[in-house]
Structure 1
Amino acid sequence: MSNGSGVSRGDRNRNARLSRLRGAVPVTNAIVGIDLADRKQMLVVTDHDSKVLARRTFRCKAWDLGAALDWAADRASRAGFAGVTVACEPTGHRWMVLAQLATERGMSFVCVQPAASSWARKSEDLTTDKTDDKDAVLIARLTAQLRCYLPEPVDEANATWTRLRHLGSRREDLLEEHVAAVQTVRDLLECVWPAALETAKHPFRSATWVAALAVIVRRDGGDLDRTRRLGLARFERAVRAEVTRRGGVRPCLRIVRRLFAALDDRAGVVAHRPAVFERLEWTLADWDEARAKLVDVEARMTSVLDELGLTALVTSIDGLSPVGAAAILAQTGDLARFTSARAVVKHAGLAPRERKSGTFTGRARLTGAGRPQLRVAAWRAVWGCLQTNRVYAARYRYLTSREHNRLTPTQAQTAVAGAILRQLYAVVTQRRAWDPVIAAHGTTAWKETTGTAAA
């Protein structure tokens, strides 16, 4: 698609991106390619033809590279350049240290994707040789070709977004611990007491079931005979007290009675029960600790949204919770740094990848590039939105029921995830609440329960 000038929207976006990169990599600057490591830093100073002007190895930590940058600036000045552009791969935390040192010296700073370096290394001489010297030169060469990008600024103005990023990372760690604890409990019970898992439809979502299991494990050390001698009435009182201690109101007596009846079940490896129940006690403690920490981290994430003034805006999207929105923004950072909504979708790897050549048209698939955790955060947001957001629900029904090019449920959910990212970008950058009519492309078909959304 192009306008009267013969330049497409993609061409304009690409030209704008190249202009921004050229501003950071002007031809009047020498390029300093740095291969970062723990205690050994390789620096090369090159011109825009990748001719090496100087090379030196500094045996120091990343935060001691100030003297190395001063040395590079001196070599560039001797070669007749007005300044330097510092380039490296975003490895771990070291690139942020280097970005700060470069900013303090008034130097431009860019990053080169490790994948781009890997491809360039293989195409260099059709080998897979990898040395610090070669990598530093490749980083400088890719920068000269503008095959680099401008990273998120490392400054005080971006401190709130940085905090949200770290809180999001902490939340992901806690979710992994939470899920791991659940899987461990399930596996252990399937081995020694499978009947317990049949006492509730969704046992790990039931506060009553978890409280009753905690009573059985902690009070009697997994001795089911001793728990049975307690009697149903006293067992119910113990579970009620445990539910109250966990912040609940009252237990579901149906689940309590089913679990008490399951104490007589002898299925499972009975000989292993004492040891397994001892391990279950520790796992339940870890699970409770992870859940408590998760609640605290999510509260902090929502408070950061309040600081940014985004809570009311992001929650205007029906079905998107403050925690869900914060989890997405923790992976994207400030959405204003993206040039378009499509760029955010590409960053998540949810953009379709076209395959066309001549008269051949292949099947479009997702690129799968970008940030995997951003894809996960967007994917999690889909489930809540499909339940309460009529626009997204109608869109999902249309994609899975149309006669031509019908999508599978997973494909349709992926399309909805991309729509959430695009519309979240519009809401945050334009500072306007979500409008269901605009989200449905100006139609009102989503208002009809039996209607379909716009194509």
Structure 2
Amino acid sequence: MNYTQNQKISQITPSTLVIGIDIAKDKHVARAQDDRGIEFGKRLIFENRIHGFDSLLEWVERHQKQNAKNHVIFGVEPTGHYWLNLAYFLTAKGYDFVLVNPMHVKKSKELDDNSPTKNDTKDAKVIAQLIKDGRYSVPNLLDGIYAELREGVKVRDQLIQQLMITEGRIQNVIQRYFPEFFDVFKDWEGKAALCTLKLFPFPSQIIEMEPNEVLSKWKPFIQRGVGIKRATKLVETAKKSIGIKIGIEFAKHEIDFLIRQYELYKEQLEQLDNQIETLLTTIPGTKQMIDINGLGVATVAQLFAEVGDISKYSHPQQLVNLAGLSLREHSSGKFKGQTRITKRGRSGLRRALYLAIRPLVAHNETFKALHHYYTKRSERPLKKQQSLIALCCKLLRVLFVIGQKQCGFDGSKLLQGLPQINTLQAA
């Protein structure tokens, strides 16, 4: 299944049986037609279970024999995650499997009957029609180490999200019951601050102790960095606290539970990062990518989790399109609108590139020089945000070359042909 529109259309021949499937949670609907759009038989409703998948293949084989078709292409409108089971099942059987854009289905559903009616049976036919016209895309179904990496990165994102939620809830408790806590400790995640939250988090507990007693309770857990001065300040601050003084008993349970969750998430995240880093070392080119100043392991892991095997791509523009960073414009006659990125693609990849380019612009001399050139050049200078997006595309092309050739990063090649670089850097 090829890349260009003409090649997609050429895949649909008179010997092709086109199967459009409308995906749902429990039951799917399939309809069959040929390359001209002539429908075969009635719809098939099958369950999202192995016996349902087997009935689909039996139904398809009957249509193949009855209509002399030797090639089958299945297509679906991706609905959440429910299509993945069917996709992996059919690709494992050796069938061609494609996706159609849900927006295309929505906008073309009135072409046949001039009616806005929407149902599963109609959607299955619309999907088949779009496939027949070559308006589909081939999904990037990862396997092997890349599938493992995608799952690992997904779990990592979930852990980070839960960690942020827990951190916010801990600060919520502190602000309600001991808002002056941050007058003593700059950060609640520090060793002394975290120890205090575990042992005596509320002013009512602290004011009952002397500074020496506070210090003695710290010492078994903290060997250095705290002394009698900090302990005295904590006791004095607790005596002047305006924190809430009711509901202390269950508030103590709350802070205990939250800190245990926080420590568990931190431990799980550390273990997961080690496993992901070990997994990355088995992929060609990752060492050279990580060696780029300002680029971290998390970004490289996200890249391979989103795109899979880079060697399967023939041109870096395919990765740019996959990230939704290709440009679009709205123009007509003499009017020319503003150029923007399409944002049609994997949002996770686009987000990872944007988060990676900011430290690169700050710490990597090559990308810093490019950013300076793009924003300060004499002709058509870019705004800061436009420059960052352009550099995201540049970074993606660099990573593509490194992944294909397993070569080191040479920043001088990126600066060739830019005459104003030296002048700008000198200024």
Task: Classify the TM-score, shorter chain.
Answer: 0.7 to 0.9
Residue correspondence of structure 1 range 395-434 to structure 2 within 5 A: 395-402=370-377, 405-434=380-409
Report if aligned partners of 1:346, 1:370 keep a CA contact under 8 Å in 2.
yes
Aligned to 2:15: 28
Q: Deviations 1:288-317 (Å, cap 9, x if unpaired)?
A: 211111111111111111111333121132
Q: CA deviation at 1:423?
A: 1.6
Residue correspondence of structure 1 range 30-429 to structure 2 within 5 A: 30-64=17-51, 65-121=53-109, 127-153=115-141, 158-199=143-184, 203=187, 207-208=189-190, 211-220=191-200, 222-236=201-215, 238-239=217-218, 241-242=220-221, 250-251=224-225, 262-271=237-246, 275-402=250-377, 405-429=380-404
Alpha-carbon distance in structure 2 between the residues aligned to 1:19 and 1:60: 35
Alpha-carbon distance in structure 2 between the residues aligned to 1:176 and 1:290: 10
Q: CA deviation at 1:380?
A: 2.1
Report if aligned partners of 1:216, 1:227 keep a CA contact under 8 Å in 2.
no
Over 3 Å counting, the alpha-carbon distance change for 1:145 and 1:198 in structure 2 is farther
Over 3 Å counting, the alpha-carbon distance change for 1:382 and 1:274 in structure 2 is farther
Aligned to 1:4: none
Over 3 Å counting, the alpha-carbon distance change for 1:52 and 1:138 in structure 2 is same
Report if aligned partners of 1:190, 1:197 keep a CA contact under 8 Å in 2.
no
Q: Deviations 1:244-293 (Å, cap 9, x if unpaired)?
A: 7xxxxx54779877656543342344435554443222222212211111
Over 3 Å counting, the alpha-carbon distance change for 1:433 and 1:122 in structure 2 is farther
Aligned partner of residue 38 in structure 1, secondary structure: coil
Alpha-carbon distance in structure 2 between the residues aligned to 1:256 and 1:379: 44
Q: Deviations 1:121-161 (Å, cap 9, x if unpaired)?
A: 3666565432110111111111111111112246xxx3111
Over 3 Å counting, the alpha-carbon distance change for 1:238 and 1:360 in structure 2 is farther
Alpha-carbon distance in structure 1 between the residues aligned to 2:218 and 2:383: 44
Higher helix share: 1
Give the partner amino acid of 1:160. Answer: I
Alpha-carbon distance in structure 2 between the residues aligned to 1:259 and 1:327: 43
Give the stretch that moved more between structures: 282-291 or 101-110: 101-110
Aligned to 1:435: 410
Q: CA deviation at 1:95?
A: 3.2
Alpha-carbon distance in structure 2 between the residues aligned to 1:446 and 1:251: 47
Q: CA deviation at 1:176?
A: 0.7
Over 3 Å counting, the alpha-carbon distance change for 1:116 and 1:287 in structure 2 is farther
Give the stretch that moved more between structures: 20-29 or 311-320: 20-29
Aligned partner of residue 180 in structure 2, secondary structure: helix
Report if aligned partners of 1:24, 1:108 keep a CA contact under 8 Å in 2.
no
Report if aligned partners of 1:62, 1:97 keep a CA contact under 8 Å in 2.
no
| Percent of matched pairs sharing the same residue | 21
Report if aligned partners of 1:34, 1:43 keep a CA contact under 8 Å in 2.
yes
Give the partner amino acid of 2:17. Answer: A
Give the partner amino acid of 1:75. Answer: H
Report if aligned partners of 1:40, 1:59 keep a CA contact under 8 Å in 2.
yes
Alpha-carbon distance in structure 1 between the residues aligned to 2:330 and 2:264: 48
Over 3 Å counting, the alpha-carbon distance change for 1:181 and 1:66 in structure 2 is same
Give the stretch that moved more between structures: 289-298 or 337-346: 337-346
* TM norm structure 2: 0.87
**Unaligned 5+ runs, structure 2:** none
Q: CA deviation at 1:367?
A: 2.0
Give the partner amino acid of 1:152. Answer: N
Alpha-carbon distance in structure 1 between the residues aligned to 2:209 and 2:358: 42
Over 3 Å counting, the alpha-carbon distance change for 1:282 and 1:431 in structure 2 is same
* TM norm structure 1: 0.82
Q: Deviations 1:359-415 (Å, cap 9, x if unpaired)?
A: 222222232222222222222212332332111122233344456655444443333
Over 3 Å counting, the alpha-carbon distance change for 1:50 and 1:411 in structure 2 is same
Aligned partner of residue 246 in structure 2, secondary structure: helix
Q: CA deviation at 1:34?
A: 1.3
Over 3 Å counting, the alpha-carbon distance change for 1:432 and 1:213 in structure 2 is same
**Unaligned 5+ runs, structure 1:** 1-14, 245-249
Over 3 Å counting, the alpha-carbon distance change for 1:125 and 1:196 in structure 2 is farther
Alpha-carbon distance in structure 1 between the residues aligned to 2:285 and 2:29: 43
**CA RMSD across the alignment:** 3.2
Report if aligned partners of 2:46, 2:55 keep a CA contact under 8 Å in 1.
no
Aligned partner of residue 75 in structure 2, secondary structure: strand
